[in-house]
Amino acid sequence: MTTRAAVIGVGHYLPERIVENAEFEKTLDTTDEWIKSRSGIERRHFAAEGQTTSDLATRAARAALSDAGLAVDDLDAIIVATSTADLTFPSAATMVQAELGMMHGFAFDVQAVCAGFIYALTTANALITAGQARRVMVIGAETFSRIMDWTDRGTCVLFGDGAGALILGAQEGDGTNADRGILATDLNSDGRYRDILYVDGGISTQTTGFLRMQGKEVFRHAVEKLAATATTALEKAGMTPEQIDWVVPHQANIRIIAGTAKKLGLPMERVIVTVQDHGNTSAASIPLALSVGKARGQIKPGDVIVTEAIGGGLAWGAVVLRW
């Protein structure tokens, strides 16, 4: 028998404020059509004043617990993937732990920008398969609206705020790719490309900074690297693209999503797309899309899912799982 980390609950939360593309026309040299044609984004959610990343994460966590039919005492650990934690320290995860009333186990953050949820999911899988935890809450949560330069039309129209949560539980399998749970993972990074997507501030500079991005360079790397990591993860699982029911990609740009699907030889009908409604929510985008996909009735038990992401670092990776 083989221990697998299987999805047993999922949930999400989006701030109340919805910002349509047209709002940017008032302050920027841009249009709704320009934004949609280049990104596929039509609207996004922004956190309210005083609303923090841990607030969003806690709401998503409660939704996932409800979906799983679990109480907080059933969890062993919480991992939050975020690049926009409330404070330098302590971690957002410990704040979520406190808000949920969880007085046992452990909690920590993972920071790999848009690839953060893939890294956190891989970490949670390792904890479960190693026997160090039985149930792990994995959350992606961001308030990217806090690090936008509102004069830069190339970036500020692309990002949004939100949170998604997924609960992994230990289940016994036969050790084949017919098992439920995470079947394979693949992680990568290359720091030589850090200057094409970064925030120009931080603790040592005593500034918050703004997000900076060379869009064309990011696009050039994204499609190639996402298709490659998805293919590698599938090979590790002993599977082929034909066996995929759903690709749930990082929701950054519809052209990147479509280009990656094409390289994998998959039609867009087998891709979960939420970028039009959420924008790029960085580490939150994949769990948000998983939760929305389940709520829509698209993702069903037994489905084979490939999820992949790339973010600043550059950092990228993929996970193959059976729902």
Active site residues: 114, 250, 280
Q: Residues 119-130, buried b or exposed e (16+ Cβ, 10 A)?
A: bbbbbbbebbbe
Alpha helices in 69-179 (DSSP H): 92-100, 116-129
Rounded CA separation 120/304 (Å): 20
Residues 6+ apart with CB under 8 A from 259: 222, 223
- CB distance 153 to 29 below 8 Å: yes
SS3 call for 40? coil
In angstroms, what CA-CA distances link 310 with 27, 179, 193, 236, 263? 30, 27, 12, 19, 16
Tokens of 9: 């609950």
Containing 142, the helix (H) or strand (E) segment is: strand 135-143
Among candidates 163, 179, 64, 51, which has minimal Cα distance to 125? 179
- N- to C-terminal Cα separation, the chain: 19
Give the other-Cβ count within 10 Å of 300's Cβ.
Answer: 11
- CB distance 303 to 322 below 8 Å: yes
Rounded CA separation 71/74 (Å): 5
